[in-house]
Amino acid sequence: MRHQPLSELTDEERLDWLQLARTESVGPIGFRQLLARFGSAGAALSALPDLARHGGRRQPLTPYPRAAAEREATALDRFGGRLLAACEPGYPEPLADIEDAPPIIAVAGQPVLLHRRAVAIVGARNASANGCRFAAELATDLGSAGFIIVSGLARGIDAAAHAASVATGTIGVQAGGIDVVYPRENADLVARIRREGALISECPFAVQPTARHFPRRNRLVSGLAIGVVVVEAAPRSGSLITARMAGEQGRDVFAVPGSPRDPRARGTNDLIRQGATLVQGAADVIEGLTRQIGGPAAAPIAGRLERHLAAPPADADLSSARRRVEDALSPSPTPVDEVVRDCQLSAPVVLAVLLELELAGRLERHAGNRVSLL
């Protein structure tokens, strides 16, 4: 294998990345595998139709139009933002190292904030007044200690944490396009963050958020941070999804206890029972994170892991493996490692077949490196 160093893309290469990332059936993991196999997004775009056909797709897979990618890039530029690809030095390193990091993101505001250590503060949208005050105090104290505050721009706890940390540094993660304010009541706050903080989105410009966008937004909130603090959360809330994703990403999870009579505290109390660190103030968060990072919050983040290019499997190997891999799959999510063992094939061959099935729209990827057949 040969190394693929971090480097700035040309404008044309960045459009290739945007086209590939926006193409139907190309998810973050599939994108990374395509890049490792073909060496560039441009080469991968050319290979997509054949790969999807091998996976059993009946209708040709057409890449996202170049003209649409150009329009999106132009609109973002007029908005005052820019596109950052995961191979570029400006891309936030903690986010780049999660399993399903977005290949390309839109950024507006102060991109220097993306390279400081961050803590996510999340919680209930229908938060109590005490919860919002505590979130604001926590954000202020963590900001004074050198941490950037990340959240999802929702009403309630998210908004309180953002508002309290704009002066020291805050990053807002959009559920829709980077230019779309949701909810509208946060318009002034978002405008201030755009001037003084940073905004991030993986969605196309001008896209309105829908229900499916919020869990994907949540993984970016936790992915940008080294720790996640949940202030208030009802059972089965989006904040608990963020906490679960944080644990899967190897982040520290902190929770603020609350009254057992308050349903907004049920989720946080459950997190503490499951092993989250109990938080009574910023000192508890700082103590837990200092053990992890071994240095001051404002210190630069360590260098990113190198990416590799992998030699593609031989066509003959793939031809004989396709049926075996497909037979090993089911509608129930199965760990990829288990598929490799069951098929008694090499991991590169299995991954290549799974990629073909994904591009054909026949495979779904799940958290924890699991896959299921559609």
The CATH number linked to 190 is 3.40.50.450
Query: Does residue 45 sit within a domain?
Result: yes
Q: Residue 295: what pLDDT?
A: 52
pLDDT band at 311; cut points 50, 70, 90: low
In terms of domains, do 166 and 284 share one?
Answer: yes
In terms of domains, do 171 and 248 share one?
Answer: yes
Query: Does residue 95 sit within a domain?
Result: no
In terms of domains, do 127 and 246 share one?
Answer: yes
Query: Does residue 132 sit within a domain?
Result: yes
Domain boundary among 293, 327, 362: 293
Query: Does residue 302 sit within a domain?
Result: no
How many domains, in total, are found in the chain?
3
In terms of domains, do 323 and 288 share one?
Answer: no
SS3 223: helix
Q: Residue 300: what pLDDT?
A: 44
Query: Does residue 53 sit within a domain?
Result: yes
In terms of domains, do 171 and 25 share one?
Answer: no
Q: State the average pLDDT over residues 137-166.
A: 98
pLDDT in tens, 2-45: 334 578 999 999 999 999 999 999 999 999 999 999 999 999 99
Nearest Cα neighbor of 199 from 229, 179, 182, 228 is: 179
In terms of domains, do 272 and 159 share one?
Answer: yes
In terms of domains, do 188 and 268 share one?
Answer: yes
pLDDT band at 304; cut points 50, 70, 90: very low
Domain that holds residue 142: 108-293
pLDDT in tens, 182-208: 999 999 999 999 999 999 999 999 999
Q: Residue 305: what pLDDT?
A: 37
**pLDDT of 163 above 50:** yes
Domain CATH code at residue 362: 1.10.10.10
pLDDT in tens, 64-98: 999 999 999 999 999 999 999 999 999 999 999 99
**pLDDT of 363 above 50:** yes
pLDDT band at 310; cut points 50, 70, 90: low
pLDDT in tens, 108-129: 999 999 999 999 999 999 999 9
In terms of domains, do 285 and 331 share one?
Answer: no
Q: Which of 102-106, 152-156, 299-303, 358-362 has the lowest mean pLDDT?
A: 299-303
Q: Residue 297: what pLDDT?
A: 54
pLDDT band at 317; cut points 50, 70, 90: confident
**pLDDT of 210 above 70:** yes
| Strands of the chain, DSSP E | 2-4, 81-85, 104-109, 118-122, 148-151, 170-173, 198-201, 227-230, 252-255, 277-278, 307-309, 334-335, 363-366, 370-373
Domain boundary among 27, 61, 79: 79
Q: Residue 84: what pLDDT?
A: 97
Q: Which residues of 124-148 are buried (b: 16+ CB within 10 A; e: fewer)?
A: bbebbeebbebbbebbbbbbebebb
Q: Are 328 and 343 in contact (CB under 8 A)?
A: yes
Residue 73 phi, psi (nearest 5): -65, -40
In terms of domains, do 32 and 58 share one?
Answer: yes
**pLDDT of 287 above 80:** yes
In terms of domains, do 161 and 271 share one?
Answer: yes
Q: What does the mean pLDDT of the chain come to?
A: 91
In terms of domains, do 164 and 74 share one?
Answer: no
Q: Which of 63-67, 109-113, 293-297, 314-318 has the lowest mean pLDDT?
A: 293-297
Q: Residue 306: what pLDDT?
A: 40
Percent of the chain surpassing pLDDT 90: 85
**pLDDT of 46 above 80:** yes
Q: Residue 207: what pLDDT?
A: 97
Best-predicted range by mean pLDDT (68-77, 234-243, 304-313): 68-77
Query: Does residue 289 sit within a domain?
Result: yes
Domain boundary among 258, 293, 328: 293
Query: Does residue 301 sit within a domain?
Result: no
In terms of domains, do 326 and 184 share one?
Answer: no
Q: Residue 314: what pLDDT?
A: 80
Please report where in the chains the tokens 């299995």 appear, as a residue: 350
Query: Does residue 88 sit within a domain?
Result: no
**pLDDT of 105 above 60:** yes
Q: Residue 299: what pLDDT?
A: 47
